[in-house]
Structure 1
């Protein structure tokens, strides 16, 4: 049996992104369509301060905001530095690159193709979700996370 391989892309801006920039880029990418999976990577922005003398107090970080992506509101839990995409087919790569060119006009970014999201269940996936996990969340598990990945329904 031949298993389908979906192309993957990595977008790496030259700086960490503001929530408004993330919202603008994700909105444009979702309008293009063809996204199977999307991962936002960057340093974690905890809701409460995890250690030190202010431990347990609210963390008023200006980059932890609620953004609107498609028809959903989502709270950014990371300061976005890298965006990983898995696409339905290669025809979506050029429109996504064009969307990046339109959003990232003031600073450079890197755009590469390759394998960035695991395609098979990891030990962390098995431990967290069991043997019957949804294939769309495989390889996207953060072992330290108490919740699973946020699923955003694309607009079609």
Structure 2
């Protein structure tokens, strides 16, 4: 059985940490397979270095960046713009009773799709309670109404739509 470090009242998460940055194609395949084959996923968070639209500083400041990985991918039938190159994927698990089976299935999918070695860890890697930043961004009433999957994901000055893509589950409005 896996060692788990999960705070009281929080859902477990599985962290997939590839040894290399993933291409948009590989990220698209991995996300689609996870959503297709694994039951009980709450949310998926992708971390990695940003892929800016324009050069942020230096003599070429403001000029467009033509990075081949900054393109939309199709996940679960919806187009999602890639704004980061995938370096880490965090999958929240809703069904804690099946955690060991879900982790095995995730590892199996990773072995099939990822072109490099990877690590899989179980624990809690994102916030599960509102942060001060959430209160600054949305206010106290806004936090109460906020979808719990969005907690701790956005910086105060960033627009939510620029940072987060929400996919609906089958049968969800």
Match of 1:6 in 2: 11
State which of 132, 147, 156 in structure 2 corresponds to 1:134. Answer: 147
State which of 107, 113, 122 in structure 2 corresponds to 1:103. Answer: 113
Structure 2 residue 29 is the aligned partner of structure 1 residue 16: no
Match of 2:87 in 1: 81
SS in 2 for 1:130: helix
Match of 1:61 in 2: 67
Match of 1:124 in 2: 133
Q: Give 1:155 shift.
A: 4.3
Q: Distance in 2 between matches of 1:143 and 1:93?
A: 33
Contact 1:45–1:79 (8 Å) recurs in 2: yes
Q: What are the Cα deviations for residues 18-37 of structure 1, in whole angstroms up to 9, with x where unaligned?
A: 00000000000011232111
Q: Which moved more, 1:106-115 or 1:92-101?
A: 92-101
Q: Give 1:147 shift.
A: 2.9
Unaligned runs of 5+ in 1: none
Pick closer, same or farther for the CA change 1:13–1:73 going to 2, 3 Å. Answer: same
Question: How many residue pairs are counted as aligned between the two chains?
Answer: 153
Q: Distance in 1 between matches of 2:9 and 2:56?
A: 42
Q: Distance in 2 between matches of 1:77 and 1:119?
A: 24
Higher helix residue share: 2
Q: What are the Cα deviations for residues 73-124 of structure 1, in whole angstroms up to 9, with x where unaligned?
A: 01100011000111112142221221111112x3100000011011101111
TM-score under structure 1 length normalisation: 0.89
